[in-house]
Chain A
Amino acid sequence: MSSLSGSRLMGLCTIAVGAIYAAGYLYTEPSITNARGTPPAIATTQSPRGSAKSKTPSSKAGSSAAGQKPSATGASAHTMYKDGVYTGAGANPYGTLTVAVSISHGKILSVKITSYNMHYPQSIIDPQLPQEAVSKQTWRIYIVSGATASTYNFAEAVYYALQKAKV
């Protein structure tokens, strides 16, 4: 049976999920262009729960000048990208894969794996492909829990997609 500390931890976790979900998701945006002289504030836009759950910040103007200028805080001048969807492919002796990188407001919004045709020898097989690995079992296994999978295989494909997206 769960101890007091276990109940407390369970409670904190349950409250966390409920509170974050209820609040909608807060997005931190790169600092605003007029932040000069003021402490860099966390600018947020909120996607209220219940309305259309668009995950892009609501302001359309943000996609032009404001969103694309590097932070005025001097924190960085990191790479900015053109909005759009860009594809990239990667290959190694075991096969090929492709990704589609979506850029919104000059930043990477999502990276979708659009094809994956890698056939590794059993010794280095990625646990992401469990059906083949355990086909002899009674039940079909759709999912396997294991140590965090690496994204190393995808680096090349993402690189080529981002090259296309560079301003």
Chain B
Amino acid sequence: MPSCAHNTKRETPNLAESFLLMGTTVTIRVVGDAPDLRMQESIQRAIGAMHAVERACSRFDEDSALRELCRHPGQLTPVPPVLFHALRIACEVSHLTAGVFDPTVGRILELQGFNRHYLTGEEISSGVPSNIPTSYRDIILVQDNLSVRLDKPMMLDLGAVAKGLAIDLAAKELGEWDGFAIDAGGDVYVHGVDPMGEVWTVGVEDPHHAEEPIALLRAGDMAVCTSGSAKRRSPLDPDIHHLWNPAENRPARGLASCTVVAPIAVLADVSATAAFLLGPDRAIPFIEDIGLVALCVKENGQILQTHTMKEYLT
């Protein structure tokens, strides 16, 4: 967590720096034989890429392109590529889950008390009416000129997509290194070798016992993203967490966490959230159907996993 250089005898030179970003803590570690300064500059570029995604897709920043779009329901509005693609991915997953995943839940989350900017503490109030039901079908995407029309007043929430996209763009900036690991508050991407010169081992947190990982995964380049109910609770009601199932108008139930392995982080991130929302009976079939790898932990502690998971477990 702290910024520190690890230069012990056994390790390849590596450097990690941590930031607050997208409502969570982000740590990037790079591995390679280079001066610290070059590592720091590279990490800074990666963080810059993540900030760019945050500035476009945050519902907590009223200057974001997302908020700008939400101020103009009914109008075809040009948006930056990052927002357009984030929405396209979100709508595709909404379609695949028949609306159990839905990016139009922003206002509901806001009313549940998920409404403070993580840095300034400022309370956001979009003023969007909450009595008009919305769904992903009210989002019209026009590919030709990267424009979007929202057919009803709504507040978008792209939390499940934007962080993954940010990780993938940061990874693009770090390609020169022998190895790197990006940890965006528990959503991770690893590439190449770890400081010991081996492929990275990624722990999967046990949602019921955070001190001991429930599984260890090993693979070359991979994203490992987890959706869980443990850490984000409504300040208004501790029984309410941030993963909302609009199809049933309540927080998702049955799973404590769902971890997905995928080649890119945005795919792992959005699939983990969708699987969590689908619940214990449908999570694994959904992940298997889209050809990914998952390990889910039920609220009662039982582990469910795709048959492909064993290829990654150490």
Binding site for B on A (CB under 8 A): 1-3, 5-10, 12-17, 19-21, 23, 25-30, 39-40, 42, 44, 53, 55, 71, 75-76, 78-79, 99, 101, 107-117, 122-130, 133-134, 137, 139-151, 154-155, 158-159, 162
Contact = CB atoms under 8 A, between A and B. Distances in A.
B284 interface: no
Interface in B188-231: 188, 190, 194-196, 198, 200-205, 207, 210-213, 216, 218, 224-231
B165 A150 contact: no
A158 B205 CA distance: 27
Contact of A148 (B20, B24, B172, B216): B24
Interface of B: 1-3, 17-21, 23-25, 27, 29, 44-45, 47-49, 51-53, 55-56, 62-65, 67-68, 71-72, 77-82, 85-86, 88-89, 92-93, 96, 118-122, 165, 168-169, 172-173, 181, 183, 185-188, 190, 194-196, 198, 200-205, 207, 210-213, 216, 218, 224-232, 257, 259, 263-264, 266-267, 270-271, 289-292, 314
Contacts of A159: 121
Nearest 7 interchain pairs by C-beta: A2-B291, A146-B205, A147-B228, A55-B48, A6-B290, A16-B85, A25-B52
Contact of A147 (B17, B49, B226, B291): B226
B51 A149 contact: no
A150 B114 CA distance: 12
B25 A162 contact: no
Nearest to B62: A76
B203 A144 contact: yes
Nearest to B47: A110
Contact of B213 (A99, A141, A155): A141
A145 B86 CA distance: 22
A125 B232 contact: no
Given A113-B17, A151-B25, 14 more contacts: A2-B292, A10-B263, A16-B86, A17-B169, A28-B55, A109-B51, A116-B1, A127-B205, A128-B25, A137-B216, A145-B202, A146-B207, A148-B23, A150-B232
A55 B24 contact: no
B92 A143 contact: no
A143 B291 contact: no
B48 to A, nearest CB: 3
B65 A13 contact: no
Contacts of B19: 110-113
B231 A148 contact: yes
Of the candidates A16, A44, A145, A151, the one having the most CB atoms from chain B within 10 angstroms of its own CB is A145
Contacts of B290: 2-3, 5-6, 9-10
Nearest to B66: A28
A50 B19 CA distance: 25
B79 to A, nearest CB: 7
A147 B165 contact: no
A144 B79 CA distance: 34
A22 B238 CA distance: 43
B2 A151 contact: no
Contacts of B68: 28, 40, 42
Nearest to B225: A145
Contacts of A130: 203, 213
A29 B63 contact: yes
Nearest to B173: A53
A74 to B, nearest CB: 10
A20 B85 contact: yes
